Amino acid sequence: MPPAPGRDNEFYARLAKQTDLSAVPELAKIESCAAPLQSVIPDRVMRYKAALATAQSQSGLTKDAVMKGFENLIATLDSAATAFASQSDEIGKSDIDGKATQIADLNSSIDQKQKEIADMQQQVKAMQAQAETSRARLQQAKNNFQAAYQRRKAEIEQQRQEFENILQ
């Protein structure tokens, strides 16, 4: 994943500030001697050789001390990298792992709800079957009643006819 625009510059700015040459006395000294020579000695190599010679005569600065200053900057940079790695691991543990736990909990809840839905769907199917059975029984009862009604009505009609004939 490429660095987010702006974030890379922000990190770089912090690192550059922490590892600026002025942060190490030996490097600050050679820089302070080289700066006024820039207009006089445009060649960078010659300018820094002259600055080292000046710093050597004024304060005893050596090439080894300048190189040690760069090692100190690298050590500071490495320390910043270690601190960043530690902080990012901490964030990973607290934030990302916490979110992973929440995601797992939500997925578990979803699974439980899906089981509940499946159970309810089974209940709906069972009730639909029961309702269909009840509907069929009710229809059968209506049919039986209608048949019994028609039979009994026919019997009564017949008896009525018989009595009408007898009583005439």
Contact 98, 39 (CB under 8 A): no
CA angle (148 as vertex; 146, 149 as ends), nearest 5: 60
In sequence order, the 6+-apart residues with CB closer than 8 A to the CB of 59 are 29
The stretch 135-151 carries a mean pLDDT of 96
The stretch 3-19 carries a mean pLDDT of 78
Residue 4 pLDDT level (bands cut at 50, 70, 90): low
Assign 147 to helix, strand or coil. Answer: helix
CA angle (102 as vertex; 107, 95 as ends), nearest 5: 145
Asked whether residue 6 carries a pLDDT value surpassing 60, the answer given is no
Assign 73 to helix, strand or coil. Answer: helix
* pLDDT tens digit sequence for 24-38: 999 999 999 999 999
* pLDDT tens digit sequence for 98-134: 898 899 999 999 999 999 999 999 999 999 999 999 9
The mean predicted confidence, pLDDT, of the chain is 92
pLDDT at 91: 83
Q: Which of 137, 7, 14 is nearest to 77 (CA)?
A: 14
Residue 94 pLDDT level (bands cut at 50, 70, 90): confident
pTM of the full structure: 0.55
Joined together, the tokens standing for residue 112 give 């439980």
User: What does the DSSP assignment read for 30-42?
Assistant: HHHHHGGGTTT--
Calculate what percentage of the chain has a pLDDT beyond 70: 95
Question: Buried (b) or exposed (e) across 35-72, using 16+ Cβ within 10 A?
Answer: eeeeeebeeeeebbebbbebbbeeeebeeebbeebeeb
